[in-house]
Structure 1
Amino acid sequence: MRITVIGAGFAALTAVKTLRKQSKSVDITVIAPKAEFVYLPSVIWLPTELRTADDLRIDLTHYFTKMRVNFVAGKVQKISDDGRQVFTETESIENDALIIAGGGRFIKKLPGIEHVLTPCEGIQVGEKIRERLAAMKSGTIAMGFGGNPKEPTAMRGGPMFEFVFIIETLLRKQGRRDQFKLVFFNPKDKPGVRLGPDVPGKLMSLMRKQGVETHLGHKIKGFTEKSVITEAGEIAADLILFMPGMTGAAWLDNTSLPRSSGGMIAANEHTQVAGFKHVYVAGDAGSFPGPEWQPKQAHAADIQAKVAATNALRLLHNDTAELDKIHHELLCIIDSLSHGIFIKRNDKGATFLPPLRIMHYAKRFFEKRYLRQYRG
């Protein structure tokens, strides 16, 4: 019994862990550019030097050996035979079941977007933000996020809220906050509403208390090296941090996999891909039925990956038990470098705890505990 997992991020590693926990004999193959895991949630701390690149980059060689994983280094190009074959640049890998957990990509279509820094693109961008901040003596820093108009769930707003609060705290701790103007921008009147109905108002109130200006409800038309261009005018800026909306990976264009209107792989509540037997999707690569507030975040990816791995094994074993379903949950701590805002949302409602110092340390503790399982 052979199961191939595409990716080496949150969803992919949780799929591997779940598969091996439930089956000692299943043959697991992972395909990814590197046997490396990057803990993206902590990129927010790179500009502050609370974390270094080496803290966030985990060599998975030891973990894959321990889990008896066959690792194939490469970038997926296409699949064939209804998912039973996966092609990289140099190899073809056969499987009995396929779990696609290779993530999505940011939509880089706005004019001038080459002038912005997109934090969740990885460690190098986090380091670049640190360098730019250190070199600035004064100026305006504009921070915001957009979305995929055809896929409302395909956005990452949480990290941008964190960058606003973290940079404000950092500048204050450095004694130079008065030399900088901070502006948060978003095309929505109520950014962050997916976190909970009352959350946008609370977050904007916190920003105002910290002297952060807001530019909300105006469509983003593009960027220049020194400005954010919206339909209501321009925001002059010396540094622009912007998180675009997301869509599916480029290699999906070489497949007949069903796609949502926003370009993600369309799946059902069991993570199954319609029309492709024994093909599943988890994490940022997928589009799932469910509430409009469902998030693109590590916690959601882990939930989906457990469902995908469990159902893949169950169906390969012809188990007649009912298939697992995704139970959507949003869980995050919006960090400010000194405090953290705890937010949780599920089908029972939403919880918002105002900034607490203990939540900052809770976020750091969770990072340490999460990474321990993958370190050599």
Structure 2
Amino acid sequence: MGGQVSVPDGVHVVVVGGGFGGIGAAQQLRSAGLSFTLLDQRDAFHHNVAALRASVQPGFARRTFIPYADTFGTSFVQGRVERVDPDRQVVVLQGGREVQYSHLILCTGTDGPFPGKFTREASLQAAVQMYEDFIQQVQLADSVLVVGGGGTGVEMAAEIKTEYPDKKVVLIHSKVGLADPQLVHSVRQQAKEVLLEKGVELLLGQKVSNLSDLQLNVTQKNLEVRTDKGETLTTDLIVCCTGLRVNAAAYRDAFSASMAENGALKVNDHLQVQGFSNVFAVGDCADLQEPKLAYHAGLHASVAVTNIINSVSGKQLTTYQPGSVTMLLAMGRDDGVGQFNGFRLPRWLVALGKSRDLLLWKSWREMQQTQPL
């Protein structure tokens, strides 16, 4: 975006949420010389693109958490946002602390089941230990049932079967087609082929009917699982990869009139929240018709920060236009499927570009820290 910019006094940007969109916004604000505060309830950024590898490979989780304070110093504040007061232009943290803003960027992301998502309050050490504990459960199990065949479920099944080829892995999915519907048909078909090649058993067009009665992420021998089609199967470990929801808790009260049914914030072409020229929504919490991807969150962050600079400089605001879908699925460390701008990519290229290290290098570089070996 260029170097430092001249901005009027009193400009202070608060970024709520330190996911991919949040750290992208914070880095660009810092590069531009704008005063900002990044808020997150954790003390470390989670590169959750690699969360599933961290769920099966011992020692890998440490590489997926990057301390905020080492990058942003006193511009980072750890705390849970209780509410936003748009009239007073303050963000209120649990415990009563208030952070004043002239502009607000909401990057609260989505919440969902562990291990694909890690959104709870925890120190870096505690978070890493949760993944190491989960690995022990996987290692104890002779058979694993992955519930949900979207992108996360497909990648989870592939990771387990790649790391532990002797384990029985079954994936159950309510639809017949696997992976994300925004992917072209041939890529979704290829994801199915890779799973079958690896030995994953597929149970498609069925749902688990007694999921709420079953304990997740804990190995218990011969758990009985029933489907809505009357089938019964036994497994030792159940991993749920469904149920992603927009994390709207921080802003629900303040911006309820600007929310879509799923909790995402309605935005205009400039990513301004409907009805608020100084509030922007970035990443999964923005109501945009495109897949929820880290890549998109980074693009949103750039538009939001550019528009904050443009608005205080009296320049024309830039627009965000969703483009063709680019999506890569890591199918274990040795394989992958995906597309670039709507065109299917060779499996070896996805494996080389994403699957080997899951783009960890990119986040460590962006955070200007050295990745542990």
TM-score normalized with structure 2 length: 0.81
SS across alignment from 2:145 = strand
Structure 2 unaligned segments of length 5 or more: list them: 1-10, 119-126, 216-222
Of residues 143, 153, 168, the one that matches 1:181 is 168
Contact 1:185-1:214 at 8 Å conserved across structures? yes
How far residue 102 of structure 1 moved from its aligned partner, in angstroms, is 2.1
SS across alignment from 1:221 = coil
Percent same amino acid at aligned positions?
21
How far residue 298 of structure 1 moved from its aligned partner, in angstroms, is 1.2
- Alpha-carbon separation, structure 2, partners of 1:229 and 1:360: 39
Say if 1:254 and 1:56 are closer, same or farther in 2 by CA, change over 3 A.
same
Of residues 329, 337, 341, the one that matches 2:336 is 341
Of residues 304, 309, 313, the one that matches 2:309 is 313
Aligned pair 1:353/2:346, yes or no?
yes
Residue 48 of structure 2: aligned partner: 40
Of residues 151, 157, 160, the one that matches 2:153 is 160
Say if 1:357 and 1:247 are closer, same or farther in 2 by CA, change over 3 A.
closer
How does 1:238-249 map onto structure 2 within 5 Å? 238-249=236-247
- Alpha-carbon separation, structure 1, partners of 2:24 and 2:319: 15
Aligned residues: 337
Aligned pair 1:71/2:73, yes or no?
no
- Alpha-carbon separation, structure 1, partners of 2:358 and 2:237: 31
- Alpha-carbon separation, structure 1, partners of 2:57 and 2:81: 34
How far residue 355 of structure 1 moved from its aligned partner, in angstroms, is 4.5
- Alpha-carbon separation, structure 1, partners of 2:18 and 2:227: 37
TM-score normalized with structure 1 length: 0.80
Of residues 191, 209, 213, the one that matches 2:197 is 209
Of residues 222, 227, 230, the one that matches 1:230 is 227
Contact 1:14-1:306 at 8 Å conserved across structures? yes
How far residue 274 of structure 1 moved from its aligned partner, in angstroms, is 0.2
Say if 1:103 and 1:47 are closer, same or farther in 2 by CA, change over 3 A.
closer
For 1:260, give the aligned amino acid.
A
- Alpha-carbon separation, structure 1, partners of 2:267 and 2:170: 38
Say if 1:244 and 1:362 are closer, same or farther in 2 by CA, change over 3 A.
closer
Contact 1:283-1:304 at 8 Å conserved across structures? yes
Say if 1:79 and 1:324 are closer, same or farther in 2 by CA, change over 3 A.
same
- Alpha-carbon separation, structure 1, partners of 2:233 and 2:268: 42
Residue 4 of structure 2: aligned partner: none
SS across alignment from 2:347 = strand
Structure 1 unaligned segments of length 5 or more: list them: 109-116, 147-156
Residue 141 of structure 1: aligned partner: 144
How far residue 325 of structure 1 moved from its aligned partner, in angstroms, is 0.9
- What is the CA deviation profile of residues 265-286 of structure 1, one whole-angstrom value per residue up to 9, with x for unaligned ones? 2223322110122101111222
Contact 2:146-2:239 at 8 Å conserved across structures? yes
For 2:336, give the aligned amino acid.
I
Say if 1:170 and 1:71 are closer, same or farther in 2 by CA, change over 3 A.
closer
Query: RMSD of aligned C-alpha atoms?
Result: 2.6
